[in-house]
Chains A and B, each alone.
Chain A
Amino acid sequence: MKTPKVLVLRAAGINCDQETKFVFEKAGASADLVHINRLYKNRSMLSDYHIFVIPGGFSHGDDISAGKILANELRFNLGREIDSFINDKKLMLGICNGFQVLVKTGFLPGFPPEKGNANHQQLVTLISNDSNRYEDRWVYLKLSSEKSEFIKGDSILYLPVAHGEGKFVPKDKSVLAKLKKFDQIVFKYVKPDGKPSAVFPFNPNGSVEGIAGICDHTGRILGMMPHPERYSDAANHPRWTRDGLKKMPDGMRIFINAVNYAKENLL
């Protein structure tokens, strides 16, 4: 059987690229680290891949604002290629800084096309945590969408967040309403029992309605603040020394699903 191919983007300041490559390979794909300058020189190479990932980090130092400069680079130089990548039913994933990039390019939330609405408008954003500082902590996430091709169903995941600008804010009420209407809210920060909470530390950054990750209307683009690639080994869990080593670390579910989707639909 053929192996899905994953392009893990590199750029100045991206720093979760190697572990992201590792988890996709662990999930059964082959993954390449590709610097954005190489991608510019050879735009058509994107079409050789099935999954396109913007990993976490501090692209260009998050100078000006998180993910902004990389977002502009992608928007102005690779917008068309990314559109046709998604039209080909392929998958795109942005983790942490990658999520910030995706909302600032306007690829997310990516509502169904409507007349009069320009594509790739920035409709949501991720701003400074209410605590006004960078925080690394593990959080409970409620998965509550049937939309995303990366992960579906109704369950609770436990993953780390590590960011200073992760507070999810929609532009206005209509944007929030549309996110709900089209089932595009994939993850919400919750209490350990799955009940919603607006309280720190369950909602670690003050995100509106605890939103931690969203997908586009096709379900093929996913952006999330938590880091699934940091829970790919059972011993990554902060309390494995008391609760034991879990057979399927929560983070791996997302990568295995994505690779399986690619195997079933793209190969």
Chain B
Amino acid sequence: MLWYIEIANKKEYPDPSGNDVILNAHDLNIKGISRVQAFRLYLIDADIAESQIKTVAEELLIDKVTEVYSVNRPLSNPGKSTHAVSIFRKPGVMDPVEASALKGIAELGMKAYAVKSGRKYLVTGKISSKNLETLVKKSLANEAVDDFFFGQKEFKELPKSKPYKFRLVTVPLLGASDEQLLEFNKQYTLSLNLEELKTVQNYFISLDRNPTDAELETIAQTWSEHCKHKTFAGNIDFNGAPIQNLLKGTIMKVTQELNKPWCLSVFTDNAGVIEFDENTAVCFKVETHNHPSAIDPYGGAGTGIGGVIRDILGCGMGAKPIMNTDVFCVGLPDMEYKKVPKGALHPKRVLKGVVAGVRDYGNRMGIPTCNGAVFFDERYTGNPLVYCGTVGVMPKDKINKASRAGDLIVVAGGRTGRDGIHGATFSSVELTHESETVSSGAVQIGNAIMEKKVLDTILQARDKGLYTCITDCGAGGLSSAIGEMGEELGAEVELSKVPLKYEGLSYTEIWISEAQERMVISVPPEKLDAIMQIFNEENVEATVLGKFTDTKRLVLHYQGNKVADIDMLFLHKGVPKSSRKAVWEPLKFSEPKIALQKNYNSVLKNLLSSYNICSKEWIIRQYDHEVQARSVMKSLAGPEYGPSDACIVRPVLGSRKGIIVANGMSPKFGDIDPYWMAASSIDEALRNVIAAGGNLEKTALLDNFSWGNTNKPDRLGGLVRASQACYDIAKIYCTPFISGKDSLNNEFATEKGTIAIPPSLLISAICVMPDVDKAISMDLKKEGSFIYIIGMTRSELGGSHYYALNGCIGNNVPQVDARLNKDVMEKLSRAIGEGLALSCHDASEGGLGVAIAEMAFAGGLGAQIDLKAVPVEGTNRNDEILFSESNGRFIVEVAPEKAKMFEKFFKGLPVGNIGRTTKKDSLKINGLDGKTVVDAGLKELKDAWQKPLKW
């Protein structure tokens, strides 16, 4: 029978979950709620007596010190002005509590068939039913994954899935007209273009048969933009000049030409691999998980981080993840609710959801999330970006892998369900206001503990050499994992062997499901028993699905019936090379004329309060950034928690060697010129590495492009420009790219037209640091130190935050003098290495003014600055010197007794001794005419910086 259990805190204890609902109602401008009580609900399907269910409640479900419960009735009968709402995950959506509860019940010596967990709220106060519904839909539940019920809901039984009866489905491709092909394309969410559809049609004409649905879906998944990167690898006509392969011609070319011996594996595996020390390598991968996060921010971000962790686990023969980095791009959190486009979620909800998703997954995995960033722009409202990155560590002799014919195909980890069907193809199309309902099958909810168990056991099996190859089940599911591993060999799979979460999946659904937490490994038959023992000992399910062959064919069966038989060569190499047009015309915004002011206190505070610059402490502290005990430099620096430039961790506990991870991103410059946007992003990522005490000699880069629809020539033109900058700039800095990813088609269709995101290139940098004890942080350290600026300040305020504050974009986008900046960076790196600097911070968003303010309040020390001493080119304005975002600049604090030695390093370079640190609790800046232009208390500056996201 089905038992219903309701749990709440005893009256004398606070109800923080209930109070949170009141806060969320305030966000939605819903007033009149006086109280909210939160309840936990369990539905337990078990043939046990009431006394036994009470034992389950008391010994397992409740905290006897603080909680009370009721069975089969509500704990309290709500009064007239109280409304009840219950929320459960939709049937088929992962509920990690279920497995744990079943285990806990078994531990008590009882058996339950199924458990479902839920939440209930009693909302008291004057609230209209319309507002109540708004509160539930916009804040408590997500219709893509949750069911909700108003009033006291009676439950009779848990929904049961229907069994599946085999029926082979073929698609009548032979003889289909172009229109019919396009119709199939839509019906099966194939996301192929007509030329590709015709190529598929011709292939099956040559076989003289129609494809099965499984074959068609396999081809579509394998050929998806997400998996094949057709745009980057295709033909492009750029303003009349032919480009044959943009990726090979720019980003990969840098790496090839630099030919660094410490680059151990680049652009081939799941992640880029570089040497760490004699025995150890580190690998790094950053992924995007944009479209799922638009529909369900919590699940999307959680599975984003889960996916990139599996990339690392599947890199080489498997690496141990040691840190995560997460970068989000979202709309403006103070956007009016009525302005949110139909089908989009409010930016505040998106941000809260993605942070919670990363938090709950990353923290549970025990991987510190110690680096990240957030960018705000209203164009990200309907199409937010979620970049998830993970660094792993592995023995150097575990980098290579290859399946062999005869190896068994084993899937280990989570069971397969209907979650995440069509993720790979879904990510390759534009979002619309219908995406929420049409594509909710593409949403996945992760189960971090399952992935942790997989991680723990796989690494044991790796060290014992029990498999020959491994890859993760990501986009495309088994289809993509087995298809890739067997590309050179051939594979035979019996799909009915795949363990399922519930009945009713067709063979095609089993094959393409993107259910989370699964890894595919190829195991030599003689090692099967040994590897199964490792999995069994730690309760990880693992199943043999078939074997790799030498037929060069992919053959699938279901209950013995053949459901697919295609040529690996056609599958992997058959996709026709695309041809796209790209144009680039420089945009012309007008250069604004902004009146000079006598005092810039309020401008500086407004900049510090702008969403892109303000403190992200609210996010940082929700992530466990210290687990694994590797942390050397954290995201918040100094006694007053300023913004660190980078994070530093030690991959090998007990060694003084470390890695620095930093990022650079400047979408605002992309509106003017994606070339300088990309160049600035590289410069910024490298500045952050150098400022923390790193070097250029052993720094590698990752590129992650999120772009609009590149079928539109202007968008593609921008992508070409950005890629060219990646080549030009990284080549001069001698920093190779080791891995990258692109997410195209980031546009949101509204009734009024399509909104494209700004061109968004995330550059991530990883640097191997010989001795972490040489690191320095950005907080001012001592009274009476000298403050230097290194690098040239120019009249480059196009796309700057100062212009944005004045409501304009401008034209003079910051350029990158890479030769000069490289010289500056190399010398600064050496000076820091010799212990000559006390603190260092790069000047980036908000320029010199913001950088020095951050250093001052982070360290709790004042500063006196003189703008006359700043090396400049082409400007004589106080506001430009204060707020220009020129690249290649650093602010450095140096002890007076070391000043001479420090200055020696920068002979012939733009350097200025611009002031002193003071014990006063204020920042004072004198302008070019000697008059004071900023005189602000540290506390007011810090408050301005901390306030906006203090949620």
Contacts and interface: CB of A to CB of B under 8 A. Distances in A.
Contacts of A122: 63-65
B624 A134 contact: yes
Contacts of A125: 63, 65-66
B interface residue count range (under 10 / 10 to 19 / 20 to 34 / 35 or more): 35 or more
A40 to B, nearest CB: 11
A242 B773 CA distance: 12
Interface string A20-46: 001100100000000101100000000
Contact of B104 (A64, A123, A135, A233): A64
A134 B355 CA distance: 11
Contacts of B48: none
Contacts of B773: 235, 245
Contact of B628 (A18, A104, A169): A18
B97 A63 contact: yes
Contacts of B654: 22, 26
Interface stretch (B14-22, B331-339, B572-580, B917-925): B14-22
Nearest to A68: B60
B448 interface: yes
A250 interface: no
Sorted from nearest, which 9 A-B pairs have the closest CB atoms?
A: A15-B366, A132-B16, A63-B100, A19-B629, A125-B65, A241-B777, A61-B449, A63-B97, A58-B364
A241 B363 contact: no
Contacts of B539: 12, 37
A80 interface: no
Interface in A43-69: 56-58, 60-65, 68-69
A152 interface: no
Mostly helix, strand, loop or mixed at chain A's interface? mixed
A69 B98 CA distance: 12
A72 B627 contact: no
Interface residues of A, number: 61
Interface string A218-242: 0000000001011111011011011
Interface in A84-126: 104, 122-125
Contacts of B449: 12-13, 58, 60-61, 63
A232 B621 contact: no
Contact of B452 (A15, A136, A162): A15
- Among A76, A241, A245, residue most surrounded by chain B Cβ atoms (within 10 Å): A241
A171 interface: yes
B616 interface: no
A132 B20 contact: yes
A130 interface: yes
A232 B628 CA distance: 11
A2 to B, nearest CB: 23
11 contacts: A12-B453, A22-B654, A37-B539, A63-B99, A124-B65, A128-B16, A135-B622, A162-B624, A162-B626, A230-B627, A241-B633
Contacts of A170: 65
B862 to A, nearest CB: 16
Contacts of B625: 136
Nearest to A21: B653
Given A13-B449, A35-B538, A63 B629 contact: no
B445 to A, nearest CB: 13
A137 interface: yes
Contact of A236 (B66, B622, B631, B638): B631
A10 B107 contact: no
Contacts of B537: 35, 37-38
Interface string B84-126: 0000000000001101110110011000000000000000000
Contact of A239 (B16, B453, B638): B638
B14 A130 contact: yes
Interface string B51-87: 0000000011111111000000000000000000000
A136 to B, nearest CB: 5
A78 to B, nearest CB: 12
A69 B654 CA distance: 34
A134 B618 CA distance: 11
B621 A136 contact: yes
A15 B627 contact: yes
A183 B168 CA distance: 73
- Among A35, A69, A129, A233, residue most surrounded by chain B Cβ atoms (within 10 Å): A233
A68 B62 CA distance: 9
Given A61-B364, A230-B626, A19 B653 contact: yes
Given A233-B653, A235-B775, 15 more contacts: A12-B539, A13-B452, A15-B627, A16-B366, A19-B629, A37-B537, A58-B449, A61-B449, A76-B108, A125-B66, A136-B626, A235-B650, A236-B626, A236-B632, A242-B639
B291 interface: no
A162 B364 contact: no
B155 interface: no
Given A169-B66, A171-B65, A22 B629 contact: yes
A170 B63 CA distance: 12
Interface of B: 13-14, 16-17, 19-20, 59-66, 96-97, 99-101, 103-104, 107-108, 359, 363-366, 447-449, 452-453, 456, 537-539, 620-629, 631-634, 636-639, 650, 653-654, 772-773, 775-777, 779, 781, 839, 859
A266 interface: no
A111 B363 CA distance: 33
A133 B859 CA distance: 27
Contacts of B638: 239, 242
Contacts of B775: 235, 241
Contacts of A38: 537
A4 interface: no
A73 B100 contact: no
Contacts of A26: 654
A122 B58 CA distance: 11
Contacts of B60: 64, 68-69, 72
B107 A72 contact: yes
A22 B63 contact: no
Contacts of B623: 136
Interface in A147-163: 160, 162
A133 B622 contact: yes
A61 to B, nearest CB: 4
Contacts of A65: 62-63
Contacts of B839: 241
Contacts of A69: 60, 100, 103-104, 107
Interface in A177-194: none
A135 B14 CA distance: 18
Contacts of B61: 64
A198 interface: no
A125 B66 CA distance: 8
Contacts of A104: 63
A117 to B, nearest CB: 15
A60 B654 CA distance: 30
Given A13-B364, A57-B366, A69-B104, A63 B96 contact: yes
Nearest to A132: B16
Given A68-B60, A76-B107, A242-B781, A127 B13 contact: yes
Contact of A169 (B65, B97, B779): B65
Contact of A61 (B100, B629, B632): B100
- Among B63, B108, B773, residue most surrounded by chain A Cβ atoms (within 10 Å): B63
A116 to B, nearest CB: 18
A72 B56 CA distance: 11
Contacts of A57: 366
A112 to B, nearest CB: 20
Contacts of B628: 16, 18-19
Contacts of A242: 638-639, 777, 779, 781, 859
B303 to A, nearest CB: 15
A236 B448 CA distance: 26
A64 B629 CA distance: 28
A31 to B, nearest CB: 13
Contact of B100 (A16, A23, A60, A231): A60
A23 B629 CA distance: 10
Contact of A238 (B59, B64, B634): B634
